[in-house]
Amino acid sequence: MQPDLTEKIMELIRRTSSSLPPDVEKRLREAVEKEEPGSAARGAFETILKNVELARTDSTPICQDTGTPIFYVHYPEGWSTRKLREQIRGALAEATKKSFMRPNAVDAIYDKNSGNNLGGEDFPSIHFEEIDADQPLTIELMLKGGGCENVGRQYSLPDNSLGAGRDLAGVRKVALDAVQKAQGQGCAPGILGIAIGGDRGSSYAKSKEVLLSQMGTRNSDPELAKLEERLTSEANQMGIGPMGFGGKTTVLDTKITGMHRLPASYFVSVSYMCWAYRRRKMTVKGNEVEYN
Amino acid sequence: MREISLPISDETIRSLHVGEPVTLTGTMITGRDAAHKWMIETFIKKTREPKGDDLQVYEELKKILNGSVIYHCGPVVSGLDTKQYKFVAAGPTTSIREEPYQADVMKHFNVKGVIGKGGMGPKTSKGCQETPGVYFHAIGGAASFIAQRVTKVLGVYKMEFGVPEAMWVIEVKDFPVVVTMDAHGASQHTAIDEGSKKVLDDLLAKPY
């Protein structure tokens, strides 16, 4: 029989909301050292790092915008996704009651906040993927705030205004444009998730999924790996800096993935993730639950 | 760092310049998308009839906002069932969404400052010069840190907007911010935007 994981999932939510992953924190600690002492940029990073420590110690949300909860579930063959969905929803409502999450689900037509982070079939967002029966169940959670979600962009190439054609040179141009347009509004320094191809929907979804890998992980295709490095470095030449205060670090990392597309379409979707990049994973092995 | 008490005098407001870090202490109120739309439609443009407790809240708001600041924030609040409210996480939200409304709200209620993140546009900048007022930039995402500077929740209005959108009256002590738009028409956001656009144009001109 499949165990009830509600409490374990609530613990995943608590950890995700209050404890920034170590690889992200490391990048922020490197970034603070690059800014001039006494500058607004350095002050911003210092406050950010104090907040990261405080949130972890007190089990309080790193950011009050606890975002869209996006769950990625890999379940062994034979598990009930209906039960898992119920348990995830139950855990989310409970975590909201305990102030680990802000009630964030607002009915767009009637302007009513549901009060418990549950709204219709699409809130929270849950992706299920079946794996072999002998593999452990994993649940990954990403919390993506509205400020950074709002500065995400999708381009349909060719884009004449930017002189961007249907190739990696064009992708580079639109990605840099997205960073310039975002300024500090997505809570810079950000992490870029870029999907090339797909349709409008699948492309945006993929541009979020690509963010799940560790900071510094490069695409296995050397061309794309090179473009990832180049985009981070060129974005940082723009001087937007943390919060848009001006400074040396505007983007912490870039991740690119390719998809198949229709002959007629060439979409480039850029998801901007804020510095408060909250993602955590739990792995269920028999009765044991491990958190990363 | 300069310490500023709320309410703020016009003289103090005019002495503030872009780039200056300050701390704020006193009583302020949160207000974001739903609150701004409601204030404009119900009391300023009067395109919507007041309903329920609207007029009563309006009288209270006039007193609270006069000379004080409005904070673009949708907090995480504990004690909702007992009404023993406490701010758990309370960083700024993106301010530009209030651009259509902000200057009119500032002028109507004599609001001396706006706290948020990401800065605002030319209409608000003009409002800052006329009121006079300033834009204070808080650190986005530093929600647990800022919540500790909120010493007391004094009350809440318009709870029907939902917890993030309600108007929370709070007492703060040493709330750290940076002036990024001043009463003299200067904006750090315009400067950074223009500078980064030049770099972008250079980068786009480079071969792949």
Give the total number of structural domains in chain B: 1
The average confidence (pLDDT) of chain A is 97
B161 contacts in chain A (CB < 8 Å): 113
In chain B the first and final C-alpha atoms are separated, in Å, by 46
Contact yes or no for B136/B124 (Cβ under 8 A) = no
Q: What is the pLDDT of residues A259-284, one digit of tens each?
A: 999 999 999 999 999 999 999 999 99
* Closest-CA residue to B37 (of B27, B48, B24): B48
How far off is chain B from A186, nearest CA to CA, in Å?
8
Q: Can you tell me the distance from the alpha carbon of A96 to that of A10, in angstroms, rounded to the nearest whole number?
A: 10
DSSP B41: I
On whether ipTM exceeds 0.90, the answer is yes
Q: What is the pLDDT of residues A132-168, one digit of tens each?
A: 999 999 999 999 999 999 999 999 999 999 999 999 9
> What is the number of CB-based contacts under 8 A between chain A and chain B?
172
Does pLDDT of A206 surpass 80?
A: yes
Per the CB < 8 Å rule, is B94 touching A104?
no
pLDDT attached to residue B197: 98
CATH number at residue B114: 3.20.130.10
Residue to mutate among A13, A65, A66, A249, with most B CBs inside 10 A, is A65
Q: What tokens does A199 get?
A: 């349709």
Domains of chain A: 6-15+62-145+278-291 (3.30.360), 147-273 (no CATH)
B164 contacts in chain A (CB < 8 Å): 64, 102-104, 113
Q: What tokens does A248 get?
A: 């040396």
- Say how far residue A2 (Cα) sits from the centre of its chain: 29
Q: What tokens does B148 get?
A: 């500790």
Q: What tokens does B92 get?
A: 């700024």
pLDDT attached to residue A286: 87
Is the pTM for the entire model greater than 0.90?
yes
How many C-beta neighbours within 10 Å does residue B110 have?
Answer: 15
B74 contacts in chain A (CB < 8 Å): 64-65, 102
Can you give the residue range of the structural domain that contains B78?
Answer: 2-205
Does pLDDT of A287 surpass 90?
A: no
Per the CB < 8 Å rule, is B74 touching A61?
no
How many C-beta neighbours within 10 Å does residue A192 have?
Answer: 27
